């Protein structure tokens, strides 16, 4: 199990990845792709965080032939944008502290 700080960094990375690549609504990506770029000890945490974000309504899930895809819920896009730009604390967690 990861710490709260690691979990917040994983959440930020998932939302940042989806937001910056334009994965909103009908444009979606496999949930497995969210694990890219994370250290191996946090890859399982990425899937758990994504499922929590789905429960919170920030992400939408779509079942596909190859598994589950996710995208940002267009109705929550503004909330996600505010979270990503919430200020230096979140950004410092993600940008200045190594994940490993």
Q: What is the pLDDT of residues 12-61, one digit of tens each?
A: 889 988 988 888 888 888 888 888 888 888 888 888 999 999 999 999 99
- CATH class of the domain at 4-94: mainly alpha
DSSP 8-class letter at 24: B
pTM above 0.85, yes or no: no
For residue 39, give Cα distances in angstroms to 4, 21, 71, 99. Answer: 16, 21, 22, 7
* pLDDT classification of 78: cutoffs 50, 70, 90: confident
């Amino acid at each position: 199990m990861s710490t709260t700080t690691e979990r917040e960094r994983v959440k930020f990375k998932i939302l940042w990845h989806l937001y910056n690549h334009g994965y909103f609504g009908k444009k979606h990506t496999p949930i497995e792709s969210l694990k890219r770029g994370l250290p191996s000890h946090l890859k399982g945490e990425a899937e758990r965080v994504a499922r929590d974000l789905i429960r919170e309504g920030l992400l939408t899930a779509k079942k596909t032939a190859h598994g589950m895809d996710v995208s940002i819920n267009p109705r929550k896009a503004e909330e996600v944008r505010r979270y990503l730009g919430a200020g230096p604390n979140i950004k410092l967690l993600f940008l200045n502290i190594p994940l490993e």
